[in-house]
Amino acid sequence: MIKIKEFGWGICVNFTKKQVEVSFKNKKKETLFNNQLTDGNPSDLSNKSVETYFLDVILYVKNTLENDMKLVKGDLSKNDGQMGIVSVFLNSIEEISQVKVNIPQDLKSKENLKMIEKMHMEILKRFSNEIPLLDPIEDMGIENPKLEENIKKKKYLLEKYDSLNVNEVN
């Protein structure tokens, strides 16, 4: 399971790597992007193609779209939506869980999507929205001193932030 920005927890079913054409209306952003791609060497990359990953994720979404044709997170407790497969950018992942869900092969069947919805609800209920996260060092065996240092810094900053919020309330 993975947590997607603005949608919450979902079930990742597939990923694909695609070439995406990038163009900019804003020259400042285009220059910044070009510098990142070319290490500061000037070139015209206004319609540069970049590789990016897309994830197909089963998410609970509302039955209706917003005015700008955007999908909106549904509320399972209100039963105002349905499970569906949504393609999202890789950078929309907030967290990755240790929880692995075995789902049926046929994801077009309404019965299977209903079964997946029940499984999804049961997982959220069992873990009370504190789903165990995947640890890159312990669970994935990544040995990188810089990563370990960054994880320690993040933990320290989160603890500091939490202590500041507690002090503000008092």
What pLDDT band is residue 32 in, cutting at 50, 70 and 90?
low
Query: How far is CA 156 from each of CA 3, 41, 87, 133, 136, rounded to the nearest angstrom?
Result: 22, 38, 34, 18, 17
* The predicted structure's pLDDT at residue 47: 52
Q: 24: helix, coil or strand?
A: coil
Average pLDDT over residues 21-49: 61
* The predicted structure's pLDDT at residue 44: 47
Residues 58 and 1: beta-carbon distance below 8 Å: no
Q: What is the pLDDT of residues 110-169, one digit of tens each?
A: 899 899 999 999 999 999 868 999 988 888 898 999 999 998 998 899 899 888 876 554
What sign does the dihedral 33-34-37-38 (CA atoms) show?
negative
Distance CA 124, CA 116 (A): 12
* The predicted structure's pLDDT at residue 35: 60
Written as six digits, the tokens of 100 are 């692995």
What pLDDT band is residue 37 in, cutting at 50, 70 and 90?
low
Provide the whole-model pTM: 0.73
Q: 46: helix, coil or strand?
A: coil
Q: What is the pLDDT of residues 81-107, one digit of tens each?
A: 889 899 999 999 999 999 999 999 998
